Amino acid sequence: MIPDEDLKEGIELCWRNTKFLVDDAWTLYRRRSYGHSMALAIIALEEFSKLWILIDADTFADAARAGYPNERMGHEPKVKAAFRSHRIKLADTLEFVKGEIEEAFRKDTRVLRKVLGEAPTDEEMEDLTKSLRRLRASGLYVDYREGEKWFDPNSLGLRETALKTLRIADWVVKITEKRRQILHGF
């Protein structure tokens, strides 16, 4: 497992990498490389989840150092499994986004929309949840599909899906940046 003293560095590295991945995904989208853009946005969402996995691990490490060792017992295997599993990372990130959207829009829709733009709809979130794992790979490779002929990952057919994925990845970064400003860090 990751030594306690290295957790904070990992948190900052995951945060920085998440922002770079989202920026790069937008660059690819503007270049009409829709499949590649979408795949990179999905990877950014996974990287974001690792950030929160590390924050949880750091919280449990702090509790153990403060004299609550039982707080940490049984947590390390869960952290390790979540850190490696794409399915768990994507599910965690999308659950975070749904919760943040619901909370934020309950408070002040008008101000939030001005700052963050339109929120993804529940339907968009559900569609994305169902298809992210499959889409990440299909957004990268040319493939031959029976009855459909050749699949081009950068066809216009992926444009809308790529845009939805990017909007959600953007939300993750913007919401977290606001939270960091309020809390003065993680």
What is the per-residue pLDDT across 10-37, written as a single tens digit (0 to 9) for each?
889 999 999 999 999 999 999 999 999 9
Contact 90, 145 (CB under 8 A): no
Contact 36, 137 (CB under 8 A): no
Number of domains comprising the chain: 1
Q: Indicate whether this model's pTM tops 0.85.
A: no
Rounded Cα distance, 126 and 144, in Å = 27
Q: Which residues contact 172 (CB under 8 A, 6 or more apart)?
A: 18, 22, 44, 45, 48, 93, 96, 97
User: CA quadruple 72, 74, 77, 81: dihedral positive or negative?
Assistant: negative
87: domain range?
Answer: 4-183
How many helices, marked H, and strands, marked E, lie in the chain? 7, 2
pLDDT (tens digit per residue) in 119-155: 566 676 666 666 666 666 667 788 887 887 888 888 8
